[in-house]
Amino acid sequence: MSELKHLLAKNRAWAAGIKQEDPDFFKKLFAQQAPEYLWIGCADSRVPANQIVGMLPGELFVHRNIANMVIHSDLNCLSVIQYAVEVLAVKHIIVCGHYGCGGVKAAMETEEHGLIDNWLGHIRDVYRFHRQEFYVLQDAEERFDRLCELNVIEQVGNVCSTTFVKQAWKSGRQLSVHGCIYSIKDGILTELDVTITGPEQISSIYRQK
């Protein structure tokens, strides 16, 4: 008996529920995907992209990794952004972080975690860029929360710095890059005030450093 039996049963029930609402739903999706949003989020199981914004299959193009990072040389993430911007022509890119992020927490610790420390080094850079702010914040929880937010803001800047996003703006395309943060405690998604809709606004992100 398959160890995934319960998952397959849930899948059948889910597909049947969708078909009940719209019998042609999967037929239409098979024909094409035309999402308006690219979601770049954390791999954390408690932050399921589609579910928390109530979106159906086909509505969100998703990339997730540990601590919702956009690294300038990460071919995986860059390929997703290129496809989303150049082929799917999404109108919005959302970087979504979350409070209580294990990746951000690990980056704040002094103990070693192995290979992942190389990935988390980028979050330590964010901490370093903002160290003046952290001198003032004494409460450990507040510092943790703030680094989760600043990490999102940094990644919004990194999305805006990609060649594909810059090219889209250059050619006059409408494309907004947003930063959001999700609270696992209450399920609420909050937009950080860092939406960028053109290259002239990029510096406002870096002014926050």
Q: Residue 48: what residue type?
A: P
Task: Output 38 or 42, the one with its CB closest to Co ion.
Answer: 42
Which residue among the candidates 92, 98, 130, 146 is catalytic per the annotation?
A: 98
Which residue among the candidates 101, 148, 160, 180 is catalytic per the annotation?
A: 101
Give every CB contact of residue 141 below 8 A, 6+ residues apart in sequence. none
Q: Name which position in 38, 40, 42, 60 contacts Co ion (CB under 5 A).
A: 42
Q: Which two tokens stand for residue 144?
A: 């943790």
Residue 101 as a binder of Co ion (CB under 5 A): the answer is: yes
Count Cα atoms within 13 angstroms, Cβ side, for 192: 29
Stretch that binds Co ion, among 9-17, 86-94, 100-108, 176-184 (CB under 5 A): 100-108
Q: Which two tokens stand for residue 60?
A: 């969100």
**C-beta of 119: minimal distance to Co ion in Å?**
12
Is 130 noted as a catalytic residue in this protein? Answer: no
Using DSSP's 3-state secondary structure scheme, residue 49 falls into: helix
Task: Output 44 or 149, the one with its CB closest to Co ion.
Answer: 44
Tokens 């290259």 belong to 199
Stretch that binds Co ion, among 1-9, 23-31, 41-49, 79-87 (CB under 5 A): 41-49
Round to whole Å and give the CA distance between 160 and 205.
10
Site residues (CB under 5 A) for Co ion? 42, 44, 101, 103
